[in-house]
């Protein structure tokens, strides 16, 4: 479902992506609109699910989570010939329950699932892959890519 957004809606979203702690009054001043209008527009976008949630973005390196890895996983639709067919969605949902997994995506191509993790060190990434990810029923193989540098990482959508 695509929702129509006017210029004020887009301006509000852009500001909230920069700083979700802005008050309705501060936003209203920045976009030259009444506070009641801004408040109503924000509530509407929350109810429509355009604004899903508000959160703090933490500096993972300062919290000793200095290693980022992307893990590609493929799986077998049957763990063995006699078993029921496994669901790619169910496997992805199971992986998503691991606290180490920041993102889990079902993808196209030679691999089935893409997982993003941030860990303390390479050993911790290895433990996650070997002791958790590869124990998920149906996971056939994995490929781990360690990030050397991150010139850009954002949650912002260009409005």
Q: Measured at the alpha carbon of residue 105, what is the angle toward residues 104 and 109, in degrees to the nearest 5?
A: 140
Write down all domains in the chain, each with its CATH number in brackets: 7-47 (1.10.10.10), 67-146 (3.30.70.920)
Q: How far is CA 36 from the centre of its chain?
A: 32
pLDDT tens readout for residues 67-108: 999 999 998 876 666 667 888 999 999 999 999 999 999 999
Query: Environment class of residue 112 by beta-carbon count within 10 Å: exposed (0-12), middle (13-18) or buried (19+)?
Result: buried
User: Residue 119: phi, psi to the nearest 5?
Assistant: -135, 170
pLDDT tens readout for residues 20-73: 999 999 999 999 999 999 999 999 999 999 999 999 999 999 999 999 999 999
> Residue 72 has what pLDDT?
98
């Amino acid at each position: 479902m695509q929702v129509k957004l006017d210029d004020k809606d887009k301006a509000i979203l852009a500001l909230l992506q920069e700083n979700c702690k802005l008050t309705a009054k501060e936003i209203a001043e920045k976009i030259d609109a009444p506070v009641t209008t801004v408040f109503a527009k924000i509530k509407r976008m929350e109810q429509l699910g355009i604004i899903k949630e508000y959160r703090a973005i933490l500096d993972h390196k300062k919290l000793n989570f200095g290693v980022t890895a992307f893990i590609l996983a493929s799986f077998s639709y049957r763990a063995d010939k006699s078993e029921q067919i496994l669901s790619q969605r169910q496997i992805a949902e199971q992986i998503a329950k691991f606290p180490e997994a920041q993102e889990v995506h079902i993808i196209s191509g030679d691999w089935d699932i893409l997982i993003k993790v941030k860990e303390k060190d390479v050993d911790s990434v290895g433990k996650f892959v070997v002791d958790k990810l590869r124990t998920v029923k149906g996971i056939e193989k994995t490929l781990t890519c360690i990030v050397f540098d991150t010139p850009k990482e954002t949650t912002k959508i260009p409005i």
